[in-house]
Structure 1
Amino acid sequence: MTESMDSPYEIKDLDLASDAVWHKHAVSPTDRARLMQQTPRCIWLTGLSGSGKSTVANALDVALHSNGAKTFLLDGDNVRHGLNKDLGMTETDRAENIRRVGEVSKLMVDAGLIVICAFISPYQRDRQMVRSIFAPGQFLEVYLDTPLEVCEERDPKGLYKKAREGVIKQFTGVSDPYEAPEAAEVVIDTSKVNVEKAVKTVLNALA
């Protein structure tokens, strides 16, 4: 991954930045978590397209919800229909996509929710940026370490085929890199375990 001179996280409008003053809320995140009766977390699923992120995330959401947890699921494709519909697939746009999702996730965790995020998020720098905005223990990175050949064989959306044909440019795993997490809390290969076992693994990590 090539690094540009300007960081994608750099605030360009210095006047706007200097005018923004943090307003402290009377009701704290701790107060909200106590009302929710749970420990708020951000569970971040990362991996190649076809690795099972959305499938595992949905099953995890169902399991937590069934146990009375207050959750919300943010999925990569769904977010690009609304919040991030103005972004493309360049490295800068991908960084901004993850930055926005990270900030929204932080707001949800501050509200007392357990938020589940399913995003390819191919760059280590971007995932580390998201992790850095959470308090220690609030961020759980789940790496679906499913081999590329398995993901490509599944190809649920037909994206790998289009990428190999040159129809889709800058596709992670084919024409763009995926930087594997260096210290994910949970690592799962969905070619070796089923969805139920994957969900149990994440739940055990939360416990």
Structure 2
Amino acid sequence: MTIQKIASTPDPSRNGAVIWMTGLSGAGKSTLANALFRWLDSIQEHSIILDGDLMRGGLNSDLGYTVEDRDENVRRIAHVAELFKQQGFIVIVALISPTFAQRANARKIIGEGFIEVFVNSPLSTCERRDRKGLYARARRGEIPNFTGVSSLYEEPLNPELILNTSSLSIEASVNKLIEVLGTSGFVQNRP
């Protein structure tokens, strides 16, 4: 299994949480996940990042990008997130998870402590940020089923938080994430 980062040892008697960041490729999910992780680590909160790109390099390397494979990708990551949550971690998931049904299934698997965050950025901004050239390749037909180009992204209807990363700084976005964690009672050690 590929896991990006873990901060120290958690307390399984304490409830964990799952910050489920969804949005287009290039919206800023991984950047925000890493920034939130650093902040949580600085206050000695136990956290882990489950990044969709990294998970596809390990646990989910056998999956493609068909609807069925994407459903399975989300299902597996949700179960891993739930396991870490049960051990008291704040789990930060950075995953496109493009459909209502996939995110609803993740919410069902994880249950209490699921916090859906829509990392919202216009497609044009995401394309500008794309250092790997994935959008250009998708537009040339080289990458089938690419979310936002040849595959639909269903924007969340009622997420707990919307972060417009084309207008909010990373710091402002992380502050909003911290606020949601605090309001929900998952972070007690706020500086």
Q: Report the TM-score range of the alignment, normalised by the length of the smaller protein.
A: 0.7 to 0.9
Report the equivalent of 1:200: 175
Question: What is the identity percentage for the equivalent residue pairs of Structure 1 and Structure 2?
Answer: 47
Q: Deviations over 1:55-82 (max 9, x none)?
A: 0000001111111100110001110111
Supply the RMSD in Å over aligned alpha carbons: 1.1
Report matched runs for 1:90-109 at 5 Å.
Answer: 90-109=66-85
- Confirm or deny: 8 A CA contact 1:33 1:40 kept in the other structure: no
Report the equivalent of 2:188: none
- Confirm or deny: 8 A CA contact 2:50 2:92 kept in the other structure: yes
The match for 2:12 among 20, 26, 32 is 32
1:152 aligns with 2:132: no
Report the equivalent of 2:147: 172
* Paired residue secondary structure (2:74): helix
Amino acid at match of 2:87: A
Report matched runs for 1:174-193 at 5 Å.
Answer: 174-193=149-168
Partners of 1:181 and 1:174 in 2: how far apart? 18
The match for 1:141 among 107, 112, 116 is 116
Partners of 1:65 and 1:99 in 2: how far apart? 27
Report the equivalent of 2:97: 121
* Paired residue secondary structure (1:131): helix
Amino acid at match of 1:113: F
Partners of 2:111 and 2:105 in 1: how far apart? 12
In the comparison of the two structures, how many residue pairs are matched?
172
TM-score of the aligned structures, taking structure 2 as reference length? 0.87
* Paired residue secondary structure (1:133): helix
- Confirm or deny: 8 A CA contact 2:138 2:146 kept in the other structure: yes
Deviation (angstroms), 1:153: 1.5
Report matched runs for 1:51-90 at 5 Å.
Answer: 51-90=27-66
Amino acid at match of 1:54: S
The match for 2:137 among 162, 173, 186 is 162
Q: Deviations over 1:5-49 (max 9, x none)?
A: xxxxxxxxxxxxxxxxxxxxxxxxxx8234xxxx41000000000
Amino acid at match of 1:91: V
Partners of 1:77 and 1:134 in 2: how far apart? 20
Instruction: Give 5+ residue unaligned stretches, structure 2.
Output: 1-10, 183-191
